[in-house]
Amino acid sequence: MTDHTPAPVETESRTNALWGGRFASGPAEVMERINPSIDFDRRLWREDILGSKAHAEMLVAQGIISAEDGAAIAQGLDDIWGEIESGQFKFSRALEDIHMNVESRLRELINEPAGRLHTGRSRNDQVALDMKLWTRGAIDDLEVELKALQAALIGQAEQHTDTVMPGFTHLQVAQPVTFGHHLLAYTEMFGRDRSRLADARKRLNESPLGAAALAGTPYPIDRHRTASALGFDRPAANSLDAVSDRDFALELAAAAGICATHLSRLAEELVLWTTQQFRFVRLSDAFSTGSSIMPQKRNADAAELVRGKAGRVLGAFTALAVVMKGLPLAYGKDMQEDKEPLFDAVDTLGLCIAATAGMIADMQANPAAMRQAVEAGFPTATDLADWLVREAGVPFRDAHHVSGSLVKQAETRGCGLADLPLDVMKAAHPALDERIYAVVSVEASVNARTSFGGTAPVRVREQVAAARQRFLDGDGS
């Protein structure tokens, strides 16, 4: 999520009048540097204004402020919206945060009625509200981006339901799979990411507005009204919890970290697959770079950056958890530290998802190189063992030993299992006959994996259709 606010931040020092009469002089110079959050929380301006408008409308409806004051407040907030959107608004560090910056400007615009806006609320519930609104919007944006990535993966999988490649364990050739099947594995991962985000969104959708500082308010406010106006399911049930809760930020950071891990795994495969040693895929020029000294180089820099940026996203959860772990109820200024890591995690994750979707959408597979890699690793050795179990009743451990001895023979001869003479096969076990050659081919191995979720092309085609229905046409679950 990108903040497009093009406004400068003023650095003048002066007593903050919004603190009231308790303070006679301004803060120390170092306090002026450590205390303000406006440099980063100004991106919450939309959420702050929307929350203030809903609060003012409720105050009017409840007879707490006059309709005239409510109208003046609404108009002033609309004017501030326009100023910020156009870049004319001047943010001030002396006013600490987005809330005081907006309220101070509102007082300049409409005078006395501005002072009535804060009736029945506190900056504590105000910042919790702004952060919840922002987090909800961030989740909605990430959902759209992940869906686009899944669409790219499903599109490529559909083109390669029959393209054979080596499946790996321990990064060693294990068994043949299809490229489409491999890509659909990531489609499932990102589906779980979408599910985690949706689940977090449901849980966060309770409004803290009206909890005030920590104990509620004596004014006859209507928290259900403001919750409904802002799209929440209900108001938060406990005022202490409402202002001190940052679970929603932790959940988003945790979900983002898991998603970044999935992206990093896929990025690592793209890095490997694009090397001369693999040559499984080729990334387009749009997502590749060259070398300043080696003209032959073609680097998968976009994938490497996605892999590297996962660390930043994972670090956000740790930072947030450490901030929150020792805080007593209710609010502490420590909680101001929730914003920068969460903002950075969401921005970084969104960028990585978009880059990955772009790489996947226009990458070109190299089926010949994949097929060559499959044949080099004796990936049908398990098929041979399974045939002995199935056709000759040989215990699997014994069949495993027979198959291993034939792999050793093939290595010595420099050929594949399907190229071994029948007399060599029979020497390893007398039950082996001509039928084994129909089993140890790569195609036979892949086509035999017809169990639900298996790699057989007939199953992969079904999985493509099901994935499209679940993740692109359905609700993503």
| C-alpha distances out from residue 75 to 53, 70, 452, Å | 9, 9, 60
Distance CA 386, CA 398 (A): 11
| CA proximity to 284, closest of 367, 359, 368, 370 | 359
Distance CA 126, CA 214 (A): 11
Distance CA 179, CA 246 (A): 41
Distance CA 119, CA 7 (A): 29
Distance CA 139, CA 142 (A): 5
Known catalytic membership, residue 13: no
Known catalytic membership, residue 291: yes
> Which run of H or of E encompasses 123?
helix 123-159
Of the residues 25, 170, 292, 451, which is catalytic? Answer: 170
Q: Residues 6 or more apart from 196 whose CB is under 8 A from it? A: 255, 258, 259
Of the residues 291, 405, 445, 477, which is catalytic? Answer: 291
Q: What is the dihedral of CA 308, 310, 312, 314, to 10 degrees?
A: -150
Tell which phi-psi region holds residue 26, choosing left (phi > 0), alpha (psi between -120 and 50) or beta: beta
Angle between helices 247-273 and 339-362 (to 10 degrees): 30
Instruction: For residue 378, give both structure tokens.
Output: 């004796």
Q: Residues 6 or more apart from 51 whose CB is under 8 A from it? A: 126, 129, 130, 133, 209, 230
The residues carrying an active-site annotation are: 170, 291
